[in-house]
């Protein structure tokens, strides 16, 4: 130990001296962070961190807390190399260092297969690895810098994910995440390892997406996205998992960011909180259009009003105890009046208000060098109210209500995860999660047969959902890794449960080549409203037949192949098969209705768990990571998606677009004199998707009934044209002493393509309202960090 401390002192003095000798007038910044053992989460003392290609060498050695700091790193793109005796070397490429903020990152390292005391093992890993070492298939990590860089993402991680193979967003403009032919309602959102409600503004009941994400990219750290065969710790998900991480604030100095865009005004602040390396970071955003409307600059109906706040507080209590407190909240509202384009007559009036909030507390306890205990508690609340009114026959400016709802849901969650690293080959994780779900829900809808407004839902109460999991990571050989385990998901509302075994393997068959396999069972609870719909029995009484619905379930199988084509280029292919079962379908032998085709605000129907579904396909990805200012990602997915309702006929789902092709690329150019530190960047994303499916209208029946009627014997038989969506962003970034400025224009659907994606019946005019894909949507933003 004395020798290690002496080496640490000597090396840090050396790094400090060479940095002092090489100091110049160029703009520089500091890089600092923590280095931890990947499995035990304990700090690694004496690890070496070096800026690759620096001359003179810039680097640092971690101290007793695993902390490091590299001073006076020239701004721009840099790559770090991390080494530690007995651990696999790690390369961290393309970190964007600017003059305004110190760069803070947490790094995990994997112990070598055989414990080697005197040498450093050459790494086999690259940027394609994910943060969660238990996820061996269908997983990808992404950085906050990618969220800001990819064209058309609007700094939204959900829109960023649509660049990945097998993933698409809604063509109407929402950021719904449609994965491998599944409804977006199968997505699980996690923040800091804790399940959270849908983090989007203007979100309807049951949805997992929305027009605008409430989580600011200013707050995000590197995160993971999974599209199938999830690791045992992930439960209550059928189609995908967003495992979002918040970054820690700067514990040494205060830093600020101000952003102004057509989407909102952002204010962010971070800094030290105490003398023990504690920190805070917070971001507040307010709708730009709402401010302009209140100032009288704009004057039009349907102004979207929203604001959100995110914070993260990190407090080390001692060498082994660390706590963090985080929160996310947002409120949004919009009021619209739809009018006939020819006559200007009012057709419909809608009002919508929603809010969501979550606050969490986490305690990390390093029991010893090989064990840890992570415990958490969180509280979340969502509310939603909406009304739909139609003009009266007597007066076009007077309205009758045909729909209204008022939903409030609360979530109390607590749980713990115990992890133990036996040696470099074996690690286990054991965990439990308790969810208390409260609800107060009212919904009224118009009954056109009875010509009156009727109650469809009125329930107040609570239920519990219990989860538990066990995971074993076993490195069978140096080239073969296995993760196995099981997840339990139980709902006390009707005593339904699901036991879900899971297995994943990764075999490095040769240098830079790997085969992977993953399989397992998964389940998800539907929105509480689905279980609690009220149905009139015709004798003055009401029943709730859906209360006995089982959890919706799915089996996933994935086979993958990965190959490094060079130091910066990576190819990946995956073949998958998903079997969905116990899916809620309408309890009618002639019905074609299945909840697999819904994303939000479901129609009240009597349901049973007799439905099934199948998704299968192949995905290809070729990616060059950012190198010398250039990057690209090309992905292709060809797939089929089917469902079977109560009538026993297998049909294509609403999400069976058959194929998704994406190309993303960009280039950074240094412009002007070198001392100006100015960069021009150009990014593009081009997407081609198969046409969106929808159920055609039955116009004669709609006119006769006085409400929309669809040809339910021909579900999703109508189809839009293929969807072509080209996005483009261009901007400049300039570093000045202690400040970084960025100006960017981001245009979604730059060619303004307009494919028809849905039709609706307008009762007042007895006409068809056509919905096209989101047209050209430009946003311009200016950001200054200091």
**Average pLDDT of span 215-243:** 94
Whether the per-residue pLDDT at 119 is higher than 60: the answer is no
Q: What is the pLDDT of residue 574?
A: 98
Letter string b/e over residues 665-675, b meaning 16 or more CB atoms within 10 A of that residue's CB: bbebeeeeeee
- Of the candidates 749, 729, 613, the one whose C-alpha atom is nearest the C-alpha of residue 687 is 749
Q: What angle do CA 753, 759, 765 make, to 5 degrees?
A: 120
Bridge partners of residue 400, in order along the sequence: 390
Residues 224 and 385: their CA atoms lie apart, in Å, by 32
Residues 443 and 324: their CA atoms lie apart, in Å, by 38
Bridge partners of residue 324, in order along the sequence: 314, 362
Are 460 and 510 in contact by the 8 Å Cβ rule? The answer is: no
Structure tokens at 197: 């409600």
Q: What is the pLDDT of residue 375?
A: 98
3-class SS at 341? Answer: coil
Whether the per-residue pLDDT at 128 is higher than 80: the answer is no
**How many other CB atoms are there within 10 angstroms of residue 540's CB atom?**
6
pTM: 0.92
Least confident of 4-13, 123-132, 433-442: 4-13
Parallel, antiparallel or unpaired: strands 480-491 and 212-213: unpaired
Distance of CA 128 to the CA centre of its chain: 18
Residues 245 and 256: their CA atoms lie apart, in Å, by 20
Q: How many CA atoms does the CB half-sphere of 677 hold within 13 Å?
A: 21
Structure tokens at 726: 């080209």
Q: What is the pLDDT of residue 155?
A: 86
Q: What is the pLDDT of residue 72?
A: 92
Burial class (CB in 10 A: 0-12, 13-18, 19+), 138: buried
Residues 694 and 671: their CA atoms lie apart, in Å, by 49
Out of 572-581, 601-610, 673-682, 698-707, give the one with best mean pLDDT.
Answer: 572-581
Q: What is the pLDDT of residue 131?
A: 86
Q: What is the pLDDT of residue 300?
A: 66
- State the DSSP string of 608-677: EEEEEEEEEEEEEEEEEEEETTEEEEEEEEEEEEEEE-TT--EEE-TT---EEEEEEEEEEEEES-GGG-
Residues 330 and 198: their CA atoms lie apart, in Å, by 11
Per residue in 556-595, pLDDT (tens digit) is 999 999 999 988 899 999 999 999 999 999 999 999 999 9
Whether the per-residue pLDDT at 21 is higher than 50: the answer is no
Distances (CA, A) of 57 to 10, 101, 660: 15, 22, 45
Q: What is the pLDDT of residue 536?
A: 85
3-class SS at 634? Answer: strand
Report the percent of the chain where pLDDT is more than 90: 71
Give residue 17's pLDDT band: very low, low, confident or very high (50, 70, 90): very low
Q: What is the pLDDT of residue 13?
A: 46
Q: What is the pLDDT of residue 115?
A: 57
Q: Euclidean distance between the first and final Cα of the chain, in Å?
A: 41
User: Which is more confidently placed, 650 or 720?
Assistant: 650
Whether the per-residue pLDDT at 663 is higher than 80: the answer is yes
Least confident of 156-160, 175-179, 189-193, 748-752: 156-160
Q: Give the position of tokens 């100091």.
A: 23
Residues 241 and 188: their CA atoms lie apart, in Å, by 5
**Average pLDDT of span 390-403:** 89
Per residue in 288-334, pLDDT (tens digit) is 888 887 877 776 667 899 999 999 999 999 999 999 999 999 999 99
**Average pLDDT of span 71-85:** 92
- Of the candidates 243, 229, 246, 213, the one whose C-alpha atom is nearest the C-alpha of residue 166 is 229
Are 707 and 752 in contact by the 8 Å Cβ rule? The answer is: no
**Average pLDDT of span 593-611:** 92
Residues 356 and 203: their CA atoms lie apart, in Å, by 9
Whether the per-residue pLDDT at 215 is higher than 80: the answer is yes
Question: What average pLDDT does the structure give for the chain?
Answer: 90
Per residue in 473-490, pLDDT (tens digit) is 999 999 999 999 999 999
Residues 264 and 267: their CA atoms lie apart, in Å, by 10
Letter string b/e over residues 197-221, b meaning 16 or more CB atoms within 10 A of that residue's CB: bbbbbbbbbbbbbbbbbbbbbbbbb
Residue 5, H or E segment: helix 2-21
**How many other CB atoms are there within 10 angstroms of residue 698's CB atom?**
18
Q: What is the pLDDT of residue 23?
A: 45
Letter string b/e over residues 102-124, b meaning 16 or more CB atoms within 10 A of that residue's CB: bbbbebbbbbbbeeeeeebbebb
Give me the count of residues in the chain: 786
Look at the alpha carbons of 128, 131, 135, 141 in this order and tell me if their dihedral is positive or negative: negative
Backbone angles phi, psi at 771, to 5 degrees: -110, 125
Q: How many CA atoms does the CB half-sphere of 453 hold within 13 Å?
A: 13
């Amino acid at each position: 130990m004395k020798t290690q401390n002496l080496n640490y002192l000597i090396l840090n003095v050396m790094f400090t001296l060479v940095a002092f000798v090489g100091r110049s007038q160029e703009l520089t910044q500091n890089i600092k962070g923590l280095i931890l053992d990947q499995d035990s989460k304990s700090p690694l003392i004496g690890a070496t961190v070096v800026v690759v290609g620096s001359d003179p060498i810039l680097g640092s050695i971690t101290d007793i807390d695993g902390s490091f700091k590299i001073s006076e790193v020239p701004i721009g793109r840099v790559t770090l190399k991390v080494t530690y005796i007995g651990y696999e070397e790690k390369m961290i490429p393309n970190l964007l260092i600017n003059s305004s903020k110190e760069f803070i990152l947490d790094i995990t390292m994997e112990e070598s297969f055989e414990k080697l005391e005197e040498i450093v093992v050459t790494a086999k890993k690259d940027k394609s690895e994910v943060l969660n070492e238990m996820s061996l298939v269908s997983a990808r990590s992404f950085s906050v810098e990618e969220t800001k860089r990819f064209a058309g993402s609007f700094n939204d991680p959900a829109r960023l994910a649509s660049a990945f193979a097998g993933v698409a967003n809604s063509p109407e403009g929402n950021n719904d995440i449609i994965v491998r032919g599944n409804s977006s309602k199968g997505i699980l959102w996690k923040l800091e390892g804790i399940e959270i409600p849908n983090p989007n503004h203007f979100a309807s009941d049951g949805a997992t997406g929305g027009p605008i994400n409430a989580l600011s990219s200013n707050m995000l750290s590197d995160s993971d996205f999974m599209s199938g065969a999830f690791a045992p710790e992930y439960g209550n998900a059928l189609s995908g998992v967003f495992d979002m991480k918040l970054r820690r604030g700067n514990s040494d100095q205060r830093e600020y960011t101000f952003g102004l865009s057509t989407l909102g005004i952002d204010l962010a602040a971070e800094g030290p909180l105490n003398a023990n390396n504690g920190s805070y970071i917070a971001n507040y955003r307010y709708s730009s259009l709402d401010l302009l409307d209140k100032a009288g600059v704009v004057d039009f109906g349907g102004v979207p009003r929203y604001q959100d706040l995110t914070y993260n507080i990190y407090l080390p209590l001692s060498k082994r105890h660390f706590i963090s407190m985080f929160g996310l909240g947002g409120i949004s509202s919009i009021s619209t009046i739809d009018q006939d384009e020819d006559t200007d007559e009012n057709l419909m009036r809608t009002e919508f208000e929603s809010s969501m909030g979550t606050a969490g507390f986490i305690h990390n306890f390093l029991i010893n060098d090989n064990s840890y205990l992570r415990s958490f508690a969180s509280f979340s609340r969502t509310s939603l109210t909406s009304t739909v009114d139609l003009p009266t026959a007597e007066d076009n400016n007077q309205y009758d209500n045909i729909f209204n709802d008022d939903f409030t849901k609360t979530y109390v969650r607590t749980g713990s995860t115990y992890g133990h690293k036996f040696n470099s080959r074996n690690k286990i994780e054991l965990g439990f999660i308790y969810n208390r779900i409260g609800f107060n829900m009212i919904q009224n809808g118009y009954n056109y047969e009875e010509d009156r407004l009727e109650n469809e839902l009125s329930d107040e109460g609570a239920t519990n959902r219990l989860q538990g999991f066990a995971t074993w990571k076993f490195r069978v050989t140096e080239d073969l890794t296995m993760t196995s385990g099981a997840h339990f998901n139980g709902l006390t509302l009707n005593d339904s449960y699901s036991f879900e075994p899971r297995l994943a393997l990764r075999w490095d068959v040769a240098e830079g080549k790997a085969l992977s396999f993953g399989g397992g069972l998964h389940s998800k609870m539907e929105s509480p409203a689905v279980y609690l719909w009220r149905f009139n029995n015709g004798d003055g009484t009401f029943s709730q037949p859906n209360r006995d619905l089982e959890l919706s379930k799915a089996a996933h199988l994935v086979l993958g192949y990965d190959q490094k084509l060079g130091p910066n280029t990576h190819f990946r292919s995956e073949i998958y098969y998903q079997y969905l079962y116990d899916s809620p379908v309408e309890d009618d032998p002639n019905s074609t209705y299945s909840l697999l085709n819904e994303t939000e605000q479901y129609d009240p129907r009597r349901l049973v768990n007799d439905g099934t579904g199948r998704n299968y396909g192949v995905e290809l990805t070729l990616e060059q990571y950012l190198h010398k200012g250039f990057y690209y990602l090309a992905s292709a997915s060809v797939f089929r998606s089917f469902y079977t309702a109560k009538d026993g006929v297998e049909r294509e789902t609403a999400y069976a677009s058959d194929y998704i092709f994406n190309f993303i690329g960009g280039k950074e150019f240094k412009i002007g004199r070198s001392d100006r530190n100015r960069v021009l960047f150009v990014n593009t994303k081009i997407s081609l998707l198969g046409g969106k499916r929808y159920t055609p209208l039955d116009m004669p029946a709609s006119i006769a009934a006085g409400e929309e009627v669809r040809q339910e014997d021909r579900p999703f038989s109508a189809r839009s044209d293929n969807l072509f969506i080209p996005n483009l962003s261009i901007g400049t970034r300039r570093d000045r002493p202690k400040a970084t400025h960025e100006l960017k224009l981001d245009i979604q659907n730059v060619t303004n393509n307009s494919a028809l994606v849905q039709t609706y019946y307008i009762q007042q005019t007895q006409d068809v309202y056509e919905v096209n894909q989101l047209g050209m949507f430009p946003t311009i933003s200016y950001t200054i960090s200091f």
